[in-house]
Amino acid sequence: MGKMGEEKKSGGCMGWFIVLIVVGEIALALALGFTLRNKFHHDDDGDSPVPRPPGPVAQKYGDALKIALQFFDIQKSGKLVNNEISWRGDSGIDDGKEANLDLSKGMYDAGDHMKFGFPMAYTATVLSWAILEYGDQMNKANQLDSAKDSLKWITDYLINAHPEPNVLYIQVGDPDIDHSCWNRPESMTEKRPLIQINASTPGTEVAAETAAAMASASLVFKSSDSTYSNSLLKHAKELFTFADKHRGSYSENIPQVQKYYNSTGYGDELLWAASWLYHATKDQTYLDYVVGSNGETYANWGSPTWFSWDDKRPGTQVLLSRVSFFDSKAATDASLKKYRKTAEAVMCGLLPKSPTATSSRTRSGLIWISDWNALQHPVASAFLAVVYSDYMLTSRTQKIQCDSASFSAKDLRKFALSQANYVLGDNPMKMSYLVGYGDKYSQFVHHRGASIPADATTGCKGWQWLESDQPNPNVAMGALVGGPFLNESFVDDRNNSMQTEPSTYNSAAIVGLLSGLVTTSSVATSFT
C-alpha cells in the first residue's frame, strides 16, 4: 500500500414542532461553540443520513471516553485546579522562571516529567479536531467540558511559551537528567532547563505544529471566549509566519531532541498548519499555500502514509477533504482533488477487504506498524476513518473506489469500530489496553506517579518502585498503554516501556476515536 507500510487522520402544529427543533438546535450550537448545522443520524444500513440530533449514547464508548479523558488530568503540570486525582498534586510550579516565563502548565509527555513541545502541540491539535468534529457527541456523553478544559491547559502553556513572534520555547527539562530519576512530579528537585527555537536556530516542525494547535483551538473557543480565541489565532499566524520564513529542521538544529522526538521533515507540518489556519480564518492565501508549490513539494500525493506526531500528511489529506466535500467552489481545484484522492488511498489501505489493504496488521486485524507504542497507529488511523466516514455521510457520498472494489461509509465505520473494540478488550489477551476500562488491564503501567505511593519519600532515586513486583499503587486511569507485539502478546512489566508506557498524544487520538463512536450525528460542514 505504497508507503503506508513505513512509519513515516411542513405547516400547522407540525410547523411549531419544527420551530422548536430549530430553536433547540441553535441553542445547542451556540452552547457548543459551533454554527448551526444539519444533523444526520446514521440509518441502519450506514449509507443514508436522516436529519436528527445525536442519537443515544453507546454506553461502552461513553464509559471509555470518560475514562480516557482522565489521563489528561493525570498528566497536568502546574498548580492544579479542581483536582480529582487523589494521588496528584501541584508540580513544575517554577518551570520557565529562568526565562521569566510561566511555563508551569502544559502536560507531561508520557511516564516521565518532560514537556516536549512537538508532541504536546500535536496532542492539542488532535484534541481540538476531535472537539470540532464531535463536540456535540462529547456533550451528549457529558464529556465536552472535560475535553475543553484539558485542551486549554495545554494552550495556556503554548501561549506562554511564545513570548515573541520568532521565539518559541519547545522543551522544559533535560531528558538525560529527567530519566536518571524515578520520582513523583510533586517531589522533583532536579534542574528543569529550557530549550527555545528562534530566527537563528529555527525549528519549522514544532513552530508549525504549534501554529496548527493554536489555530484549531481558536475555533474551539471562538464563541465561548472570543478574547482567548483571538489571542490563539494571533499566535497561530505569527508562528506560521516564523515557521515558513525561517525554515530549518528542529532535529538538525537541536540534535539532543533526536533521541526522543526526531522529525523526518517539516513540509508536512507546514501544510498541516496552513490547512488549520484556512479553516480558522477562511483566508484564501492559506488555501493557496497548500494547493500551490508547497503542495507539489511536500504533499506526496498518491502515496499514503501513517498519521502520527511525526507525519501529518494523512491528517492534512483528510482535513482538506472536508473542503472538497462541503465547499462547492473549492471542490473543483485540481490540487484539492489530489489531497482527497490520497485520503481515499489512506482509507482503502485501512479497509481489510480492499484490494489495496495494507498487510501491516495482526492476525486479529489490528493495524500494527511498530514494536514501540504499537497502538498509536491503529488508533490514529481509526480516528481518521471515522471522520472520513462521517464526511461521506454528511455529504451523502455513497462510495469510495479502491481499485476494482467500492466501499461505503459504513465500511469505514466498521473498521474504526474494530480497532476501538480491540483496544477495549476484543483481542487474544482478553484485556483492555485502556487502563481503568473493563475488568482486566495493565497493573504495571510505566508511569512514575502511578508507581509510587503518594506519601513515599524517594528523592530522585526511587528505583525500588520501578523494580517492584507489586502492581502500581495508583491507577493511571485512562492511560492508553503502548500495546501488543505483532504476535498479539503483551508483557505487563513496568520495565517493559515499549508496551506499558502511555503518552498524551495517544490519548488525544483515542479520545477522538471514541468521540466519533459514542453516538451518531453529522459533522459540521464548516467550523466557523
Q: Which residues are catalytic?
A: 446
Give dist(CA 205, CA 250) in Å, integer.
Answer: 7
What is the crossing angle of helices 409-423 and 504-517, to 10°?
130
Please state, in angstroms and as integers, the Cα–Cα distance from residue 30 to each residue in 36, 282, 357, following that order. Answer: 8, 20, 41
**Other beta carbons within 10 Å of 488:** 17
Chain-centroid distance, C-alpha 113:
20
Q: Which three cell numbers stand for residue 243?
A: 515557521
d(CA 483, CA 485): 7
**Exposed, middle or buried, 456 (CB in 10 Å: 0-12/13-18/19+)?**
middle
Question: Residue 15 pairs with which residues in a beta bridge?
Answer: none
The rounded Cα 44 to chain-centroid distance in angstroms is 29
DSSP code at position 78: B
Provide the residue type at 501 as one letter.
E
Q: How far are the Cα atoms of 62, 321, 506 from residue 513, in angstroms, in the given order?
A: 11, 18, 11
For residue 168, what are the β-bridge partners? 197
* Cβ neighbours around 484 below 10 Å, total: 24
- DSSP readout, 424-441? TT-STT--BSBTTSSS-B
**Of 299, 279, 303, 315, residue with least CA distance to 388:** 315
| Cβ atoms 129, 9 nearer than 8 A | yes
**CA pair distance 242, 199, nearest whole angstrom:** 8
Give the total residue count for the chain.
528
Cα Rg, the chain, nearest whole Å: 22
The torsion angles phi and psi of 170, rounded to 5 degrees, stand at: -115, 0
DSSP symbol at 5? G
232 C-beta neighbours (distance < 10 Å), count: 27
For the chain, report the end-to-end CA distance as a whole number of angstroms: 35
Q: Which amino acid is at 58?
A: A
Grid coordinates belonging to 247: 525554515
